[in-house]
Structure 1
Amino acid sequence: MKAKFTGHDTFPLRYGWLFKAVNHLNSNGNFSSSDEESIRHSIVELGVGKNMVKAIQYWAESSGIIESDRKNNKTFHNVTKNKGHFLFGDNGKDPYLELHGSIWLLHFWLNFNDEHLTAYRYFFNYSNVQYFEKSKLIDDCYEDAKRLVKSEVGNITTIKKDMDCFLNMYSKKVKSTAKKIDEDHFTSPLAELNLLQDNGRSFYVSNLTERPELPIEVFIYALLEFFKVETTESKVSTVDFDSLLTKPCSPGRIFRLSEAGLGQKLDEAQQHTKKEISWVDSLGLRQVNISESVKNNTFKYLNDYYGKSNV
């Protein structure tokens, strides 16, 4: 894993940016930091300043909506089939993120990554705090990053900026005087998930809970994606409950599920898949079984969700 605490120029992800990124590439645009003509074209097409162009590229790459490819010493970008085209393409399932499940899915894509460590991936995959002060989380991230990554971590100021961006992106700030939600902080769709609450004075809360608002189809997709990674080199059909709850990149970690919450989601998954996904919890043994018919069919359940949902 490498450190990647820069790239967004402190701009949190905003509504419409990923759709803009996909449209830009689909209309023969490109993201480039070295080709002045390409930069000017991106500024005009996306309708934002140069720094925001970089931020749009960063969030599109970090979520897997686009990917880079280097040819003849030039970097080109493509829209990914299973993410970019699936959600934001011409026939995308929800290009304007009007469905709550799409935001949960985007959250999973952003954090299901063990190649690059960022402030948000650190929090959702490695931090164990539920109540914290920003300065302490920054210090923890800095110290843990030196242990987790193979590359240079950089200085703590860089991590602070990335942490500020993450906190602004995921939390709705409350004005201490009026006790009302500040409208300025509705610009990021990820704040709608309510995974992080800003209590003011740099104190935050992020409870582990049951998440009834998380669509079961998105949970099943995340479970199957995690299972594929966990069993890459084996042919087992089971995964340990505790791994699903606490391992980095697991559904329990990324969705901030409590132990009871994960059990509840597994009950729902068992019912939804007619026991193609099942689990046992007896005599200290807690295991989840995945049948062969669904192992490599992760997008089936997302298609079920978008098929039944009305925007």
Structure 2
Amino acid sequence: MSLSTPSLTTRRIPTQRLTVQVAECVDREHAEPVVLIHGNVSSSVFWHDTMRDLPERYRPIAPDLRGFGSTDPLPVDATRGVRDYSDDLAALFDALGVERPHLVGWSLGGGIALQFLRDRPSAVRSLTLVNPVSPYGFGGTRDHDGTLVSPDGAGSGGGAANPDFVQRLARGDRSEESPLSPRQVLATCYVKPPLRPDREDEYVESMLTTRTGDDHYPGDSTPSEAWPGIAPGTRGVLNCLAPTHFRIDDLHTVTPRPPVLWVRGEDDVIVSDTSLFDLAHLGAIGAVPGWDGTPAQPMIAQTRHVLDLYAKAGGRVREVSVPDAGHAVHIERREEFAAALLETLAEGA
């Protein structure tokens, strides 16, 4: 496969909601729009290679989400789920004059793309999900239907973040001295070891643009009587993914139903049925004390359940499972990902 190498540029776009930093390919203003939505603790930088891989018929647009990169760091109202982000996208599209883009969402960005499709199905040409967060959020659920383990969402939200990692983000730690430094988290969790990305330094700098605190990452939390003793708050990134605030269980009811591609790395340790970021799984392996038998969240099974319903309702769904790849499969297996993406973009033309 021949990969193109167009020049990239960035600019700040004022919208009715906030000013958004956007990465674009030069001289593609009239091509078919493809919007690439990054994940948590990252920025649009993680999409730069994918943008370069798209042929001239496509106009790749990669925004920084609020609180990441160089976009305005407005607070996140977690009681709206991820709608602060999806509404920001809608405002950006209005400002750019973009109509019916293809959406590509990675991790948190996958949840945002799902929400955008759920709320505005006629505005989406195709949807590509890259190791997306479960449609039932992150943490605090027990089965493929997304049943809450506890009514308050215990085990999810801002309190689930490792405080050492948060502190290292806040102080701009670029070292490898700890397994919880951003660089080591990138090397051991974002990609499958022993791979070290060619653009590692750029990705670390991107991670360090993450705003921290109660309004951003990870967000606030509340105490819970249920194990592990914490429940979601109402502010910040991890709370907007709590199952008490974010849930998309009726995607199959939308019309129209654009084609959906689900790409996942088989060795992803972040979005997994045995996620190393799920307190229930960590409890089961003895890494979090006092485990009461709460089952790990079956994240893959949940996504497959929601997409199966979508397919049974008449939507086109394709799952591409990539062996020997982790969470950032679009970086780890660049050519394979680009090929799968281009096939879906063609379906949604």
TM-score (norm 1): 0.32
Question: Of the two structures, which has the highest relative contact order with CA contacts closer than 8 Å and spacing of 6 or more?
Answer: 2
TM value normalised by structure 2 = 0.30
Greater Cα radius of gyration, structure 1 or 2 = 1
Identify the structure with the greater helix proportion: 1
